């Protein structure tokens, strides 16, 4: 689920917001009764695995929803980096 949300952020940053919204809409099937999210599901067995829900998966869903809602200052973070070659300037990690 977290990786799916990373894809949502990448699609949105690439200007494919409609596709990002479609992919994020699939996340509802992973939401648990208490509001957390299953980490993932196997294919073709269609079984939740691992049998856990964790904070980072829920955080990824929140971040992706925030990015697409465009209602907070942080929702612009990934779109603001779109197209930048971070390795080419001083912002790169390890520079």
pLDDT, tens digit, for every residue of 6-29? 999 999 999 999 999 999 999 888
The mean per-residue pLDDT over the stretch 63-84 comes to: 87
Round to whole Å and give the CA distance between 33 and 16. Answer: 31
**Interacting residues of 17 by C-beta distance below 8 A, sequence separation 6+:** 11, 68
Band of pLDDT at residue 63, cut at 50, 70 and 90: very high
For 81, the enclosing helix (H) or strand (E) is helix 77-81
Which pLDDT score is estimated for 21? Answer: 97
Which pLDDT score is estimated for 40? Answer: 86
């Amino acid at each position: 689920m977290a990786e799916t949300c990373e894809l949502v952020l990448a699609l949105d940053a690439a200007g494919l917001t409609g596709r990002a919204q479609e992919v994020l809409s699939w996340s509802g099937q992973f939401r648990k009764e208490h509001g957390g999210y299953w980490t993932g599901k196997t294919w073709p067995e269609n079984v939740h695995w691992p049998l856990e829900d964790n904070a980072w998966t829920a955080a990824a869903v929140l971040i992706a929803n925030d990015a697409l809602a465009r209602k907070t200052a942080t929702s612009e973070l990934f779109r603001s980096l779109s197209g930048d070659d971070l390795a080419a300037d001083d912002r790169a990690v390890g520079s």
